[in-house]
């Protein structure tokens, strides 16, 4: 069935619809998901869109927004002899000085895992070592961390929680005002967990058209068309393109697990500053599993932005990678200068790996 | 390649407690944790980082495809 969601002919037909629905003025839509950026770039969807329709990438790369202070904390633990387990790309992201990969070459035991479950199994197999799972990711990943916190099968495994929530970051973008976004393409997988409900405020309080979209090229094109129809009709509604996975209530079981294990607190996003009620933190009753408390981690001064890198502006859609003078000059996937290039979900990284040089 | 916010569909082949054996297609069989969903054999689940996060609605998938077709056929709609 999947091929049907990638059908070239249908894609061209939707692109044609989009052209006919397009007003004369400039229109700008914003997505907030690394996977959406990947689909858009990989399938060359921007080339199908009218010149005055722009689709920009917001802060949707879960690896890019982890503040360096938290990476620094993981590095410190690794260098003290704690085994750090975390998801792939994170180990390449520079903290204030070093990356976890560099910490590994200095003797730290840093391991990539595909799932929090792998961390649990490793910790069980090596009971005389101390393990920490560095838990990053949005609402899609938080439920699995919650499950393993509750199961607590390995007594030598603690959690460095760095989970962030998407809707507050979308609100931050609207607060920036000058971005002049005409609509949101909301992320389908995060929404599979949280449902449609939390997005209600965007049309209601901000009059911002919002469409939840899946990840196949046709999903994205159709969601753009749905947004454009709203723009043309002067409406602001919440619509769901990804009905095969997203419901109004979302995955209630997963939400219950999240709220049972975590409190929602304010937290720093790399390059974006502190966003209110955007970060998960372990509840008091799970304090014994909280690496921050157990190791008395102090978050000190840190450096989020490297000289010359404009990741922080790319993450809010103010600049495109090709606007950065370092893009593909000093900064490449082999010699990344910022988190947006390191991660395969970062906008710079996606564009670089697809050979995008000049945009339009 | 591991992408954080990506989830991939897989067909449930067998369920044992909270673990299911799933088929990702192309001969790729794996085990995933199904604690977060009510998955039966034959269901398609969305798998993210080793955990099924949602059961995909086959009817809705077909409905979406139908809707797209209709939308495109309705020429005068614009
Ligand atoms: S191209 Fe490199 S230096 Fe420029 S914004 Fe992207 S990550 Fe930063």
Instruction: Give the span between the Cα atoms of B64 and B55, in whole angstroms.
Output: 16
Instruction: Give the span between the Cα atoms of B50 and A38, in whole angstroms.
Output: 21
User: Which protein residue's CA is at the shortest distance from atom 8 of ligand 1?
Assistant: A309
Instruction: Give the span between the Cα atoms of A17 and A315, in whole angstroms.
Output: 29
Instruction: Give the span between the Cα atoms of A215 and A157, in whole angstroms.
Output: 34
Q: Which residues contact A267 (CB under 8 A, 6 or more apart)?
A: A164, A274, A275, A278, A279, A281
Q: Convert the pLDDT of each residue in A287-315 to its tens digit.
A: 999 999 999 988 777 888 888 899 989 98
- From the alpha carbon of A352, which atom of ligand 1 is closest? 1
Instruction: Give the span between the Cα atoms of A270 and A338, in whole angstroms.
Output: 11
Mutation target to probe the A interface, by most A beta carbons within 10 A, among B4, B44, B54 is B4
Residue A311 CB–ligand 1 contact under 6 Å: yes
Q: Convert the pLDDT of each residue in A2-31 to its tens digit.
A: 677 787 888 888 999 999 999 999 999 999
Question: Domain ranges in chain B?
Answer: 8-77
Residue A168 · residue A276 · CB < 8 Å: yes
Residue A310 CB–ligand 1 contact under 6 Å: yes
Instruction: Give the span between the Cα atoms of A158 and A79, in whole angstroms.
Output: 16
User: In terms of C-beta density within 10 A (0-12 exposed, 13-18 middle, 19 or more buried), how is residue A124 classed?
Assistant: middle
Is pLDDT of A360 > 80? Answer: no
Mutation target to probe the B interface, by most B beta carbons within 10 A, among A4, A10, A18, A140 is A140
Is B46's CB within 8 Å of A189's CB? yes
CA dihedral sign of residues A326, A331, A336, A337: negative
Is pLDDT of A359 > 50? Answer: no
What is the predicted pLDDT for the residue at B78?
A: 44
Is pLDDT of A143 > 80? Answer: yes
Measure CA A359 to chain center: 23
Residue B78 · residue A21 · CB < 8 Å: yes
Q: What is the number of CB-based contacts under 8 A between chain A and chain B?
A: 124
Provide the greatest CA pair distance for chain B: 53
Kindly give the residue spans of alpha helices, DSSP state H, lying in chain A. Answer: 8-21, 34-42, 68-79, 100-105, 116-125, 142-151, 166-175, 188-194, 201-206, 217-232, 252-261, 291-294, 311-314, 339-342, 347-353
Ordered by where they begin, the domains of chain A are 2-60+167-232 (3.40.50.11750), 68-164+250-294 (3.40.50.11740), 313-353 (no CATH)
Q: Which of A141, A244, A251 sits opposite B4 (nearest CB)?
A: A141
Q: Convert the pLDDT of each residue in A205-222 to its tens digit.
A: 999 999 999 988 999 999
Q: Find residue A207's DSSP bridge partners.
A: none
Structure tokens at A83: 């085994």
Structure tokens at A218: 């046709």
Residue A308 · residue A340 · CB < 8 Å: no
Q: How far does the CA of residue B21 sit from the closest CA of chain A (Å)?
A: 15
Number of other CB atoms surrounding residue A59 within 10 Å? 28
Q: Convert the pLDDT of each residue in A249-302 to its tens digit.
A: 999 999 999 999 999 999 999 988 899 999 999 999 999 999 999 999 887 778
Q: At how many degrees (to 10) do helices A34-42 and A217-232 cross?
A: 100
DSSP letter string over A250-302?
--HHHHHHHHHHEEEEEEEETTTEEEEEEEEEE-GGGGGGBHHHHTT------
**Average pLDDT, integer, range A181-207:** 95
Is pLDDT of B1 > 60? Answer: no
Structure tokens at A39: 């689909």
Q: How far does the CA of residue B58 sit from the closest CA of chain A (Å)?
A: 7
Residue A351 · residue A41 · CB < 8 Å: yes
B23 at the A interface (CB within 8 A)?
A: no
Residue A351 CB–ligand 1 contact under 6 Å: no
Number of other CB atoms surrounding residue A158 within 10 Å? 26
Quote the DSSP letter at residue A337: S
Is B4's CB within 8 Å of A34's CB? yes
CATH class of the domain whose range is B8-77 = mainly beta
What is the bridge-based pairing of β-strands B29-33 and A131-135?
unpaired
Is B36's CB within 8 Å of A251's CB? yes
What is the bridge-based pairing of β-strands A183-187 and A83-87?
unpaired
| Residues of chain A contacting B78 with CB distance shorter than 8 Å | 17, 20-21
Q: Which residue of A has its CA nearest to B18?
A: A147
Instruction: Give the span between the Cα atoms of A230 and A226, in whole angstroms.
Output: 7
pTM of the model: 0.91
Number of other CB atoms surrounding residue B41 within 10 Å? 11
């Amino acid at each position: 069935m999947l091929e049907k969601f990638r059908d070239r002919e249908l894609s061209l037909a939707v692109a044609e619809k989009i052209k006919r629905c397009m007003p004369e003025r400039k229109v700008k839509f914003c997505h907030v998901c690394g996977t959406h950026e990947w689909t858009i770039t990989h399938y060359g969807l921007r080339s199908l869109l009218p010149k005055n329709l722009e689709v920009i990438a917001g802060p949707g790369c879960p690896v890019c927004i982890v503040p360096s202070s938290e990476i620094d904390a993981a590095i410190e633990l690794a260098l003290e002899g704690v085994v750090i387990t975390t998801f792939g790309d994170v180990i390449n992201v520079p903290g204030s000085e070093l990356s976890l990969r560099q910490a590994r070459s200095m003797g730290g035991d840093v391991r990539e895992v595909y799932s929090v479950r792998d961390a649990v199994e490793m910790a069980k197999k090596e009971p005389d070592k101390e393990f920490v799972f560095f838990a990053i990711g949005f609402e899609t990943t938080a439920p699995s961390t919650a499950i393993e916190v509750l199961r607590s099968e390995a007594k030598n495994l603690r959690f460095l929680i760095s989970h962030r929530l998407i809707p507050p970051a979308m609100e931050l973008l609207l607060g920036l005002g000058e971005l002049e976004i005409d609509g949101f393409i909301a992320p389908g997988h995060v929404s599979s967990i949280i449902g449609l409900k939390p997005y209600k405020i965007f049309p209601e309080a901000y009059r911002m058209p919002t469409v939840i979209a899946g990840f196949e090229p046709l999903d994205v094109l159709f969601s753009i068309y749905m947004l454009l129809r709203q723009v043309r009709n002067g409406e602001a509604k919440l619509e769901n393109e990804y009905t095969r996975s997203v419901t109004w209530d979302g995955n209630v079981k997963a939400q219950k697990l999240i709220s049972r294990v975590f409190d929602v607190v304010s937290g720093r996003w790399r390059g974006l500053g502190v966003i209110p009620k955007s970060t998960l933190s372990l509840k008091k009753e799970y304090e014994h599993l909280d690496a921050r408390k157990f190791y008395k981690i102090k978050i000190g001064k840190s450096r989020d932005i490297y000289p010359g890198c404009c990741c922080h502006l790319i993450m809010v859609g103010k600049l495109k990678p090709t606007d950065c003078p370092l893009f593909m000059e000093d900064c490449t996937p082999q010699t990344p200068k910022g988190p947006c290039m390191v991660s395969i979900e970062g906008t710079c990284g996606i564009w670089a790996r697809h050979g995008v040089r000049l945009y339009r | 390649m591991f992408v954080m916010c990506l989830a991939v569909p897989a067909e449930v082949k067998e369920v044992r407690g909270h673990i299911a054996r799933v088929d990702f297609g192309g001969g790729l069989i794996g085990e995933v944790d199904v604690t977060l969903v009510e998955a039966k054999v034959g269901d398609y689940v969305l798998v993210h980082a080793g955990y099924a996060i949602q059961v995909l609605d086959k009817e809705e998938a077909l409905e979406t495809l139908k809707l797209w077709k209709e939308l495109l056929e309705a020429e005068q709609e614009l």
